[in-house]
């Protein structure tokens, strides 16, 4: 059975996909995307407060695992893409630069975020310990 946090991440990903496809509905697109970014930024805090990371990373020596580091790097990549995406969105809202170029840049970054977030969720799913409760 899937862990609750993984199910939550998948649901938010599906909602994010819908907001990506419905980008012309600004009143839906913007709040959904901002909410998902905030959720993703707060997710590590939730995990630290609700998981026994010391046991897993230090005692079981999983900190040396390639999978842990790959997941961590994917999360950092996702966060970097979020920063770029927010910067581009602000340019669009302020009307700075060539509108078509900025819009295209925003769209390409959005695709990158969707790919990176899918990989983060997939790598997280592979890191779940069997029988781990949440």
Return all residues near 105 (Cβ < 8 A) that are at least 6 apart: 88
Confidence of residue 28 (pLDDT cuts 50, 70, 90): very high
Q: What is the mean pLDDT of residues 113-124?
A: 97
Structure tokens given for 85: 């995406």
Residue percentage of the chain with pLDDT more than 70: 95
Structure tokens given for 4: 């609750």
Structural contact between residues 116 and 74, judged by C-beta atoms closer than 8 angstroms: yes
Q: What share of the chain is helix, strand, coil (3-state, %, to 5)?
A: 85, 0, 15
Q: How many residues are there in the chain?
A: 134
> Distance between CA 134 and CA 132 in Å, rounded?
7
Residue spans of the domains in the chain: they are 4-127
pLDDT of residue 134: 47
Query: What is the model's pTM?
Result: 0.87
> Distance between CA 30 and CA 98 in Å, rounded?
21
Residue percentage of the chain with pLDDT more than 90: 70
Distances (CA, A) of 85 to 36, 45, 50, 90, 115: 13, 22, 29, 9, 14
Confidence of residue 125 (pLDDT cuts 50, 70, 90): very high
Structure tokens given for 114: 């969707």
């Amino acid at each position: 059975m899937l862990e609750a946090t993984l199910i939550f991440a998948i649901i938010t990903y599906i909602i994010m996909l819908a907001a990506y496809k419905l980008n012309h509905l600004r009143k839906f697109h913007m709040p959904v995307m901002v909410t998902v970014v905030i959720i993703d930024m707060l997710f590590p805090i939730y995990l630290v407060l609700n998981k026994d990371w010391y046991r897993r990373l230090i005692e079981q020596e999983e900190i040396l695992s390639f999978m842990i580091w790959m997941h961590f790097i994917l999360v950092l990549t996702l966060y970097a893409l979020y920063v770029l995406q927010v910067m581009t969105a602000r340019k669009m809202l302020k009307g700075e630069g060539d509108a078509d170029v900025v819009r295209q840049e925003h769209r390409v970054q959005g695709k990158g975020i969707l790919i990176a977030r899918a990989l983060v969720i997939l790598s997280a799913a592979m890191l779940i310990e069997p029988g781990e409760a949440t």
